[in-house]
A and B are shown apart, each in its own frame.
Chain A
Amino acid sequence: MALLAPVLSPYDPEGVDASRRLLPPSFRHLLGTDGFGMDIATRILFGARKDLLLAFASAAPALVVGTFLGAASGFLGGRLDDLLQRATEVLQAFPVVLFAMAVLTALGDRLLNLILLLAVINVPVYVKIARSVVLPLRSAEFVEAARSAGQHGLGILARHLLPNTMSPALAQFSINCAWSLQIVSGLSFLGLGVEIPEPEWGLMVQQGSHYLVTGQWWVSFFPGMAIVCAVYGFQRLSAFLRDWTKTG
């Protein structure tokens, strides 16, 4: 549906119209208009493209890379483990927004950089989870068995240990996607991330919150619903993947 956005809607997602500000939902504007007179439904559709991409593209690589690194770190132990753990800690120690601001300013405020940044921010969670799953299993019997059967470290890792990490990691996935969206909207608030007035759900909710008190509930409600639906979608996806890695 997101891809069809331009076809589905007659409105320009950034079509500002001062005389049509803050109209409640009606036939002409299914979900109402926001503070700039832009049609909310259209913006939700257009925003979907950006938001879904951002969420998925930042969480998925983080999942893959982070889980692998974490499992490897936990399994191999020693210096590598220490180094990796300290590195992730340093990464996490940074207040997210400061880190984001510094990086985006240094590298340029582009979408690709934003996705990379978010992916990097998301990695530590998976590293820690994967490691904490693998660490206790290092001396487990089945690992010993595999080793005596002649399997190498990496093979053991891939075949026996990684699958164990999948479940908790995937559980985090949808949450992670949601977090990415929240971070993006926080950054947009400060002027980074998404440029105004491009549609972005999180930013729409934040801007719309100001109108709660004056009674225009729809400005923040519908984008919020969109986020909830998207996160739910990601959850279904991760549940599906979890089942799939089980049986596969």
Chain B
Amino acid sequence: MRVPRATAIAALAAATACGPAARGGADGDSSTLTVGVPDDITTLDGIFASADRSLEVIMNCYEPLMTHAFRKEGTIRRFVPGELVGGALEDLSLAEDGLTWTLRVRPGVRFPGGGEVTAATVARLFERNFSVPGSGGRFVLQEIGRVAGIESIRVTGDYELKVRTEERNPLFARILVLSNATPFDPEILAKHGAGSPWAETWMASNTAGAGPYRLERWTPGVEVALVRNDSYWRGPAPIGRVVMKVVPAAADRMMLLASGALDVVERLSAEEIEALSQAKGLRILSIPSTSTVQLGMNNRMPPFDDVRVRRAIAYALPYDNLLRHVYFGRARRAVGPVPLGFPGRGFEHPPYEHDPGKSRALLADAGFADGLDVELAMDSGSPDEETLAVFVRAALARANIRARIRKLTPAVFAEERARRRLPLFLDEAFWWVYDPAYALLLGYTSEGFLNHVGYSSPDVDRIVASARSAVGPERERLLAEAERRIIEDVPSAWIVQPNFNLAMRDRIDGYVHFNDHMVRFFYLSKLAGDPGARRGMGR
């Protein structure tokens, strides 16, 4: 299996002429970075954005209130889970009562227009989060941050404000790293308001942030061009311009990267990464992540409301096989509801192993000695999952579970999943906040909004509720207890935690990996000239 691919790629690499650096474009110009992305952004408004591409541009053009510290681990620089440092805020402190947070704004965080982020600016930010209908930011602040509303926010100085939470909530600090906690320039908004005080229409297609870059031009369906913000508080970014080109076909992205027309390529499948890892002139990053690919089983719909059936499915999956052949080892076994890599988690070993015999026995016990007919739904927007779906289907068949694969468009999948109408589905759970309480709260409590399988256990609800406001070892103990119960109930079959893969030319350096998997272009630098690139730039 290795041989043909290696030959092909080696041939590709060998045919790469050591020509002079091409004139213009990606190769010779060290101050423009071209990134190949599979789809376009949809909105640039931090309180609405949820798609990967949109979030990435927002996180590069806006400065969040807090961000993660990072350190070098092995060959790459990686964020430190649990360690937050200030972004637009200088620091954050909690009063004795455990409810009042003092936010000190960092002086000197400037917008491209010259204005500065002040306490008033941050207050405006919170106000916007709460005031715009349909704002996802409101949900985050209220439900996760436990901040009731604008009345909980008080400006106490030019660079200081106080925020009151409804209850003790360590998670409040953590939500300040998200895309809705990014200050905008109120003057720009005022100028482009045109009917709405919050300028929703304008904010959707423009940026008004204090981040290292600002939007130069967005041509929908074609590209997003970002240009350096010279007033950025950390100093001007090494790379002056970033162009994200929309290239829908993965095979094209591969060829463009290998030929040097693109500097960085996002979203390649494990297969493609594997093929590229043999090519010369490239740097392949494959970083362990906390996103979990799981097989969701609707706990409210027969036959999956029976825990024996769910366990049968958990035993039916050939985990190591999948890890090796679908992900080529670029993944880790998933261990349960709280992923590996989260701070303060208790379980390190996968709870269920491949055991078709046990699987069949459990099914028989549940009354399905003849097997089961089910529909396996998946999102057609995830080509990687298709490979997995086919293998999962085959594995289930060996345990006498006959599955029909249903591919749904992203919109349909999102709806059906949110409304808990899917009996069996492949899903990728990705947590924005690095905290076990957060994961359990949102994913495994009865009212949890990310609880797409409808899992409901009063015990777990109770324990997680207590854990939310607990601290220290008590918190850890409670969370571990909740986890244990959830693992026993196996509401979803946790399969793997795939690595985050990124491919780039080796003249690009400096990548820092953050928990949200967004590339921060500020940290990248590009060496001029590229001996490995080809001249097919076409002028």
Contacts and interface: CB of A to CB of B under 8 A. Distances in A.
Interface of A: 14-16, 18-19, 21-24, 35-36, 190-191, 195-197, 209-210, 212-216
Interface in B261-277: 271-272, 275
Interface residues of B, number: 33
B7 interface: yes
Given A18-B321, A21-B1, A215-B9, A196 B387 contact: no
A197 B5 contact: no
Given A196-B389, A209-B251, A215-B9, A16 B394 contact: yes
B391 A215 contact: no
B71 interface: no
Contact of B4 (A19, A22, A209): A22
Nearest to B250: A210
A23 B1 contact: yes
Contact of B9 (A23, A36, A210, A214): A214
Interface of B: 1, 4-5, 7-9, 11, 250-251, 254-255, 271-272, 275, 321-322, 324-326, 380, 386-387, 389-391, 393-394, 404-409
A15 B390 CA distance: 10
B100 to A, nearest CB: 51
A196 B7 CA distance: 30
Given A18-B326, A196-B407, A197-B405, A191 B380 contact: yes
Contacts of B8: 214-216
Contacts of A36: 387, 390-391
A19 B325 contact: yes
Given A195-B405, A210-B251, A216 B5 contact: yes
Which label, helix, strand, loop or mixed, suits the secondary structure of the A interface?
Answer: loop
Contacts, number: 71
A18 B407 contact: no
9 contacts: A14-B394, A18-B326, A22-B4, A24-B4, A190-B380, A190-B407, A191-B407, A196-B386, A215-B4
A214 B276 CA distance: 8
A166 to B, nearest CB: 40
B450 to A, nearest CB: 24
Contacts of B390: 16, 36, 196-197
Contacts of A23: 1
Nearest to B318: A18
A168 B59 CA distance: 59
Given A18-B324, A21-B325, A190-B409, A213 B4 contact: no
A18 B322 contact: yes
The 8 closest A-B pairs by CB, nearest first: A215-B8, A191-B407, A18-B325, A16-B394, A214-B275, A191-B380, A213-B251, A197-B390
